[in-house]
Homo-oligomer: A and B are copies of this chain.
Amino acid sequence: MERVPLTSAAVVAAAAGLADEAGFEAVTLSAVARRLKVQAPSLYSHVKDREALLDGVAALALADLSQRIATAIAGRAGRDALDGFATAHREFAREAPGRWQSLQRRAGDTVVRSDAARRIVVLNKAVLRGYPIPEDQHVHAVRLLGATINGYLALERIGGFDHSHPSPDVSWRKTVQALDVLLTAWPADPGDPS
């Protein structure tokens, strides 16, 4: 069995794969080392510590997500773009649950300053492009979008919808519809007649 030399990228990729298969909390240096058939201390040649490893997974995740979103909203505007955006998020959470979960923690500096993070910001604004939202309201709209979508996926993941009917798919469609309604008629600030 030929052993491939380790690299930082290979270590992070192994961690990401493990996250998706066994859950984010199962990503330990020990588990990743076993997966790569080395001893755990050997990983410190490639990652600073466990925190840095998890940040590496998060950076991978963000890159993947931003790519999915870019593809999903390309050439689309308004409700179509919103649908694509929301669907990209949900499919990412489904297909790469461990990577999705890596994004639910406070991001380290390397993640915050990554190209993928910047791309996500751009894509968030792009979704709003087809809606009549004042520029000064964009940050609120982006935050509301992110909160609602991510919040929905988080509750779904922990079984928050398991104890009521109908299936989360139905409520998801209604949720995206509601977001479209909101973005289409963004509420004015109280006391602002426009």
List residues of chain A with CB under 8 Å of any chain B CB: 104-107, 112, 137, 139-140, 142-144, 146-152, 154-155, 157-161, 163-166, 168, 170-171, 174-175, 177-178, 181-182, 185, 187, 189-190
Q: Is the interface of A mostly helix, strand, loop or mixed?
A: helix
Which residues on B sit within 8 Å (CB–CB) of A189? Answer: 174
- A144: which of B146, B166, B178 is its contact (CB, 8 Å)? B178
> Contact between B112 and A158 (Cβ–Cβ < 8 Å)?
no
Using A140-B171, A146-B155, A177-B190 as known contacts, list a sample of 18 further A-B pairs with CB atoms less than 8 Å apart, ordered by residue number in A.
A104-B158, A137-B174, A139-B164, A140-B175, A143-B152, A143-B164, A144-B171, A144-B178, A146-B160, A147-B152, A147-B154, A147-B175, A148-B151, A150-B154, A150-B155, A177-B187, A178-B182, A181-B187
Known: A149-B151, A151-B149, A154-B150. A174 touches B144 (CB 8 A): yes
